[in-house]
A and B are shown apart, each in its own frame.
Chain A
């Protein structure tokens, strides 16, 4: 690492997180859009980790509690997310089962693992694969809301299917837990500052 990067921080500037304006880092407010100004997101690590731990804890009830209750001829049958996927495979809808499996199980879990890894690598002061880690972060950020698919599906089925006495679908408690997992992990991604991945390089340069 010989040539130093021309970064906003190295020039004593802050880049507005909302409107991308560059301005003196001593200002407390962006002169263009009036957002609160920070050179780096405040308490990024602590906030990200707090949201991640919350999401990880909520992931357990989201997967073990019933996500919906199907009442056929007055007989209630509870099903979890995983149970719903198994049912879909038995019905022969493999593509949909795959979509739900990816959106509801893989993405939330993958997101948690990826974010924990990013936090850990920043805390370790890693200077390796900065581009790859930045791309990983951008991916986590992009797929965040797609895990809501299953909650939306349940809400739709509940709203649509209410044939009293014959077939009624009710929402299960896992819906709210799952929704909370999605929200806390989006908040975790929003609190993380990808520029921390790169800051270590400047510190190495200064030494």
Chain B
């Protein structure tokens, strides 16, 4: 008869259960560059990457710089019949505030600027702590916030929306792209790269290794 091994063995850090179908996997034999997928439902489990933290640190710090540039210069200018109007990135939210759509202004600011900024700063602090192998009392809370707000960052969606708007109005008038436009384009790419390099399982395993309690 099949006898399950003692519970404790699966609680070691090389085991995980598929979040989609609950099957347990041992990933201790995963080689560098390999990706583990669930054999039951093909869900992505984890990737073993070399220099993962260094990559994340590089992407995240450049992403922060480009987001700062994107917020401080004109984003686009619109000219028609000798008149011109311009906008900056934060104005996308601020202008809705002027129209008394406070909730919408707040949500848009959160989705495209505030939450991405919070997640990047969190990723940077945790990654630096992991690279320096320093233990901090805030580490768990900050790392948890990364994975909680991840789904609510809509940087890449916003960038596609920018391209759609361009097509919509390009025949009505002359559109000029400002410095911020290009900065946000680069920021979107860096942001997506950062998030895609952030492997939930590997990241938490490293955090656990800083706290040797078991």
Contact = CB atoms under 8 A, between A and B. Distances in A.
Interface of A: 4-13, 15, 17-24, 31-35, 88, 91, 93, 95-96, 99-100, 130-131, 134-135, 137-138, 144-146, 148-153, 155-163, 166-167, 170-171, 175-176, 179, 183, 186, 190, 194-195, 197-199
Interface in B89-148: 91-96, 99, 101, 103-104, 107-108, 111-112, 140, 143-144, 147-148
Given A96-B164, A176-B101, A148 B20 contact: no
B151 A33 contact: no
B157 A134 contact: no
Contacts of A195: 19-22
A183 B154 CA distance: 12
Nearest to B2: A4
Nearest to A178: B104
Nearest to A183: B107
B72 interface: no
Contacts of B148: 18
Closest 10 CB pairs of A and B: A152-B161, A19-B204, A15-B17, A8-B17, A7-B22, A159-B87, A163-B83, A159-B95, A134-B41, A198-B21
Nearest to A165: B83
A160 B104 contact: no
B171 interface: yes
A156 B92 contact: yes
B29 interface: no
Contact of A198 (B22, B108, B169, B204): B22
Interface in B1-23: 2, 4, 7, 10-11, 13, 15-17, 19-23
Given A91-B171, A156-B162, A6 B96 contact: no
Contact of B42 (A15, A17, A131, A197): A131
Contact of B41 (A91, A131, A148, A150): A131
Contacts, number: 206
Interface of B: 2, 4, 7, 10-11, 13, 15-17, 19-24, 40-43, 76, 78, 80-81, 83-87, 91-96, 99, 101, 103-104, 107-108, 111-112, 140, 143-144, 147-148, 151-152, 154, 157-158, 160-162, 164-165, 167-169, 171-172, 200-201, 204, 207-208, 213-214
A190 B19 CA distance: 12
Contact of A152 (B22, B95, B112, B208): B112
Contact of A155 (B42, B81, B96, B147): B96
A146 B157 contact: yes
A19 B200 contact: yes
A153 B17 contact: no
A17 B157 contact: no
Contacts of B172: 167
Contacts of B76: 160
Given A8-B24, A33-B207, 20 more contacts: A13-B17, A15-B19, A15-B22, A17-B19, A21-B16, A22-B15, A31-B214, A33-B143, A95-B167, A144-B151, A148-B157, A150-B161, A156-B161, A156-B165, A159-B95, A161-B85, A167-B172, A171-B99, A171-B104, A179-B104
A159 B91 contact: yes
